[in-house]
Amino acid sequence: MSDFNSQVIAEFRENGGTVTTAGFGRSLVLVHHVGARSGTERVTPLVPVRDGADTWLIAASKAGAPDNPDWYHNLLAHPDVEIETPDDGTVAVHVTELTGADRDAAWERFKEMSDGFRSYEEKTDRVIPVLALRRR
């Protein structure tokens, strides 16, 4: 997966946020995060749902795996990060986890956007977390 992510990140940066690989187009953000235990800086490409001018929602789906992705834990441990966006450039954000009805409504938006998210939910027993990245 890291080779794929590296390719996507490079293409995103070389083409001003446009990624033709896997048909992503301009639908990705690059989320910078720091390892919760290692302290290593990382970048992960993710598909967000935009929630107004200053908020991006991301789902910790991990393609329906039984556990949450590492970046999820990293963002909770170090919630002040930056994202690279196709339209807004680099943006400083603060991360919070959505809960209850807010999480459920946000998750529905992901499933409406892509059948892939619906299939991830069907593959796992866990509740897939949704995080809000709000401009600082």
CA-nearest of 48, 56, 132, 53 to 98 is 132
Q: Is residue 119 part of a domain?
A: yes
Q: Is residue 10 part of a domain?
A: no
Q: How many domains does the chain have?
A: 1
Q: Is residue 49 part of a domain?
A: yes
* Percent of the chain whose pLDDT exceeds 70: 99
Q: Is residue 21 part of a domain?
A: no
Return the half-sphere exposure (C-beta side, CA atoms, 13 A cut-off) of residue 27. 11
Q: Tens digit of pLDDT for each residue in 93-126?
A: 999 999 999 999 999 999 999 999 999 999 999 9
- What is the extent of the structural domain holding 40? 27-84+91-135
Quote the Cα angle for 132-135-72, to 5°: 35
As a whole number, mean pLDDT of residues 18-37 equals 96
Q: Which DSSP symbol is given to 36?
A: T
Q: Tens digit of pLDDT for each residue in 55-68?
A: 999 999 999 999 99
Q: Is residue 8 part of a domain?
A: no
Q: Is residue 17 part of a domain?
A: no
Q: Is residue 44 part of a domain?
A: yes
CATH number of the domain that 111 lies in?
Answer: 2.30.110.10
Q: Is residue 4 part of a domain?
A: no
